[in-house]
């Protein structure tokens, strides 16, 4: 009978911590266990020294000294080896964990990065990942050797004095009980701190990204208050976590002192009143009680830390599973017949459709334009064609295959989008064009030339750094990089969403003309520039008004019809004439 238990979504991320790393983990755990046994040896040495002093036995003292020197050398070598292996293990674990997390985020749909806060992703890959390393892995490594220390301590105690061992065990329950009571509160505060840190990271990203807007509207004082509020919230959460951890430690230490004093006085009573233990045995018990008490009092805190960090791994698994790209069957990177939209209706909110009953067909290898006023739904239509949203009514088919049933990865080999909002990486011009992949030099040069970048490359070089978000480039230069990027991608379908909006009229006409000159591609151009020379080259123009296709046809046919398109073009012509007049 198959188990009905659901698979743990966090398992892949936990597995990533140990992948190709188990041998290091085992070596660290083994050395830690050996070091705990050496701690017990040190306790025995202290007791033996006290007994040798009491017996005035110099020979015994000399033997103990030799054992001490040898033990110290072995312990130091073991400590150094253990710390080196621990650092290696934690480094590899962190690298693999974050790589697995980033890979999972890459499986999310395009729309996920507009619907969700990117601050949460940054927090998951930075502060949360650090907590996983410190509080999950370190806690795990700490917990493994503690049973060895506790069992070894109890065995040594039982061999020397069962009565004092019983007293030690009972007194040890005090710090354990205190830690167990306070530990769950620490886990809750750890999760609360993670949530606040996520919000704070998102707020910082917003403020720094929008800094130009802040300066231009002279809103520095107001945004400083916004920052101060977010900063105060995260630091308050951190203070609550720190205070609780401090309270836990303080309570445990105070109760440990009470327990150790109790053990000391009980041992003194047995030594003086009954003579059943020696002075060295009392010192040995007091010292061993530390080896017994520390693990027992600290275990609830480490378990709480581990539980809180485990919750952060679960949080990553939940975030990674939200808004993932739909699965489907792959398609070839070839458009044989065309793309058809049939009675398509879609809205970002229920009962508020942006597109309504849209039907249109894009035949393979032909050129199309999509025009309409701002807010008509042009960009939304392109987003749907890129597979960004699947919750539409009607159908979108690619060579007869419903878009919702197509694997997104293969769809991106079929369709490319040149957006009006261009993202440029803080890297070289070459890497921004190629997206860090290798292409033949002549292919890169051809794409750069068709995008109008040749003069720029000749002047500054392909290794020119573009700056954060393309700050070292003009708006037009960023747009040209985006066009070159899409041309290098080489998909048979090219969607352009106001791709030349940042270019001057002459350059826009040249770039758009070069795209229309490409043979064999299916092109859909969304544009607000109703340029007659370019629109006449399109096989068909679709006119979108209020989320509906109200007109379609060639430029000549639409002008002759004298409908909505005619009005748009006429108004645009007047605006262009006025603009040229005052330039």
Mean pLDDT of 408-423: 84
List the domains of the chain with CATH numbers: 11-321 (1.20.1560.10), 338-582 (3.40.50.300)
The answer to whether residues 123 and 197 touch, using CB atoms and an 8 Å cutoff, is yes
pLDDT in tens, 72-130: 899 899 999 999 999 999 999 999 999 998 888 877 766 666 555 667 788 888 888 88
At which residue do the structure tokens 């520039």 appear?
529
- Cα separation, 87 vs 531, in Å, equals 63
Is residue 431 over pLDDT 50? yes
Q: How far is CA 390 from CA 323, 386, 401, 416, in A?
A: 11, 10, 14, 18
Higher pLDDT, 434 or 284: 434
- Which pLDDT value is given to residue 581? 46
The answer to whether residues 364 and 441 touch, using CB atoms and an 8 Å cutoff, is no
* Helix orientation angle between 441-450 and 505-517, rounded to the nearest 10 degrees: 130
- Adjacent-strand bridge partners of 370: 526, 542
Global pTM value: 0.70
pLDDT in tens, 449-508: 888 888 999 999 999 999 887 888 887 888 888 888 888 888 899 998 887 776 777 777
- Cα separation, 562 vs 535, in Å, equals 16
* pLDDT-above-90 percentage for the chain: 29
């Amino acid at each position: 009978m198959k188990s009905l238990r659901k698979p743990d979504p966090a398992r892949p991320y936990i597995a990533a911590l140990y992948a190709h790393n188990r041998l290091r983990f085992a070596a660290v755990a083994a050395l830690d266990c050996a070091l705990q046994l050496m701690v017990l040896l040190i306790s025995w040495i202290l007791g033996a020294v006290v007994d040798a002093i009491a017996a005035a036995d110099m020979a015994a003292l000399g033997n103990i000294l030799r054992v001490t020197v040898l033990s110290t050398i072995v312990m130091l070598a073991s400590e150094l080896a253990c710390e080196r292996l621990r650092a290696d293990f934690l480094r590899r674990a962190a690298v693999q964990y974050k790589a697995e997390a980033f890979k999972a985020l890459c499986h999310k749909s395009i729309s996920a990065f507009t619907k969700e806060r990117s601050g949460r992703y940054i927090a998951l890959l930075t502060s949360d990942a650090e907590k996983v390393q410190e509080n999950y892995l370190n806690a795990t490594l700490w917990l493994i050797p503690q049973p060895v220390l506790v069992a070894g301590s109890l065995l040594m105690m039982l061999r020397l004095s069962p009565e004092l061992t019983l007293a030690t065990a009972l007194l040890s329950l005090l710090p354990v009980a205190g830690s167990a009571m306070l530990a769950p509160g620490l886990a809750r505060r750890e999760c609360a701190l993670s949530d606040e840190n996520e919000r704070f990271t998102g707020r910082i990203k917003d403020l720094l990204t929008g800094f130009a807007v802040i300066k231009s509207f002279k809103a520095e004082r107001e945004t400083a208050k916004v920052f101060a509020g977010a900063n105060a919230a995260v630091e308050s959460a951190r203070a609550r976590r720190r205070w609780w951890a401090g309270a836990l430690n303080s309570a445990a230490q105070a109760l440990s002192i009470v327990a150790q004093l109790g053990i000391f006085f009980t041992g003194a009573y047995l030594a003086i009143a009954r003579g059943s233990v020696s002075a060295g045995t009392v010192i040995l018990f007091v010292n061993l009680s530390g080896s017994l008490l520390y693990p027992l009092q600290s275990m609830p805190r480490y378990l709480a830390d581990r539980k809180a960090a485990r919750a952060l791994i679960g949080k990553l698994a939940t975030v990674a599973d939200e808004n993932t790209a739909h699965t489907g069957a792959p398609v070839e990177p070839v458009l044989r017949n065309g793309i058809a939209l049939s009675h398509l209706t879609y809205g970002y909110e229920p009962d508020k459709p942006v597109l309504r009953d849209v039907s249109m067909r894009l035949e393979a290898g032909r050129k199309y334009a999509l025009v309409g006023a701002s807010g008509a739904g042009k960009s939304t239509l392109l987003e749907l064609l890129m597979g960004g949203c699947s919750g539409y009514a009607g159908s979108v088919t690619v060579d007869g295959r419903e878009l919702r049933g197509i694997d997104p990865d293969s769809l991106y080999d079929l369709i490319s989008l040149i957006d009006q909002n261009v993202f440029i990486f803080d890297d070289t011009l070459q890497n921004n064009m190629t997206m860090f992949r290798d292409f033949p030099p002549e292919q890169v040069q051809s794409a750069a030339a068709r995008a109008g970048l040749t003069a720029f490359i000749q002047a500054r070089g392909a290794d020119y750094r573009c700056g954060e978000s393309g700050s070292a480039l003009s708006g037009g230069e960023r747009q040209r990089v985006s066009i070159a990027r899409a041309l290098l991608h080489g998909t048979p379908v090219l969607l352009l969403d106001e791709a030349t909006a940042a270019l001057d009229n002459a350059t826009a006409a040249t770039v758009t003309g070069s795209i229309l000159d490409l043979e064999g591609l299916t092109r859909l151009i969304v544009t607000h520039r109703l340029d007659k020379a370019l629109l006449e080259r399109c096989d068909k123009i679709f006119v979108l008004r209020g989320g509906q296709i109200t007109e379609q046809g060639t430029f000549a046919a639409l002008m002759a019809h004298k409908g909505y398109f005619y009005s748009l073009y006429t108004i645009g012509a007047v605006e262009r004439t006025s603009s040229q007049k005052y330039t």
